[in-house]
Amino acid sequence: MIELTGKQKRYLRGLGHHLQAVVMVGRGEVSPALIRAVDEALAAHELIKVKLQEGCDLDRHEVADTLSRNCGAAVAQVLGKTLLLYRPAEDPVIQLP
């Protein structure tokens, strides 16, 4: 799991503001299929939004921790039912401050 400084989190939040959610978390638990979808999205985009839908009874912070741990990503933000996750690519496009 990647640790981000406050300045880096602020920078990523600014970049993520206009992003659309690419992964949706529904009623079920955090399944291997969900983890695989988040992993693939991170590989493609580096910075993604994950949306917890209305039927999701899971705690948003627990979901963020579980996904970040299993995908080797950092949680840049948890705001309402939206998570912002970051994992640098092998050839990073986003240059952190």
DSSP run (H or E) holding 71:
helix 60-71
64 domain residue, yes or no: yes
Mean pLDDT by 10 residues, the chain (97 residues): 89 94 88 93 94 89 94 95 93 86
37 domain residue, yes or no: yes
74 domain residue, yes or no: yes
Q: For residue 65, how many other CB atoms are within 10 A of its CB?
A: 15
93 domain residue, yes or no: no
- Encoded amino acid at 11, one letter: Y
63 domain residue, yes or no: yes
Is pTM beyond 0.85 here? Answer: yes
Residue length, the chain?
97
Report the CATH number that the domain containing residue 70 is assigned in CATH.
3.30.110.60
Structure tokens at 49: 């939004």
Number of structural domains found in the chain = 1
pLDDT at 2: 79
44 domain residue, yes or no: yes
Q: Domain containing 59: what range?
A: 6-86
pLDDT at 92: 82
